[in-house]
A = this chain, B = another copy of it.
Amino acid sequence: MNNKKNEKITIEELKKILQERDYKMTEQRREILQIFLDQPSEHHLSAEDVHMILRTNKSEIGLATVYRSLELLASLDILLKIEFGDGCSRYELNLKPNVHRHHHLICLKCRKVIEFDEDKLDELEDEIAKKSGFAITNHEVKFFGFCRECQEKYEDS
């Protein structure tokens, strides 16, 4: 596979992935996927976010359909489901389905989320797998703190 760095997957390729598993590429799924393709990758959209974007796009897709689509796309590893502790599940495009490197830096004040790519956990993962007998398939790392802007706000007050 010639996987260039930031080459985005196309709707046609996504359609193929769906059909391989006997799912249909519907207009609704197409529109939802297009939203993720159009977003900067560091955006993490909730079902409600997606629904709102659809509405501003004059699209009348039901919220239940949004939930069902997001869950399906996550089960196919097209989207990644993430929890940031803000009360709802969020999703982002899974750009590198074969590599599990996925870090987030979450500001505890303004809830901003920043992504990171570095990964130094393979060694730790191996160690833990050996000790526990687990077959580890993925890991998730979150750093919590206060972003530069919120630190400044604290200093002012």
Contacts and interface: CB of A to CB of B under 8 A. Distances in A.
A134 B121 CA distance: 21
Contact of A128 (B105, B132, B136, B137): B105
Interface stretch (A34-42, A91-99, A141-149): A141-149
B139 A125 contact: no
- Identical copies of this chain, number: 2
Contacts of A133: 147-148, 151
Nearest to A147: B134
A157 to B, nearest CB: 15
Nearest to A83: B83
Interface of A: 81, 83, 85, 103, 105, 107-108, 114, 116, 118, 120-121, 123-125, 127-129, 132-148, 151
A114 to B, nearest CB: 6
A103 to B, nearest CB: 8
A140 B144 contact: yes
A135 B144 contact: no
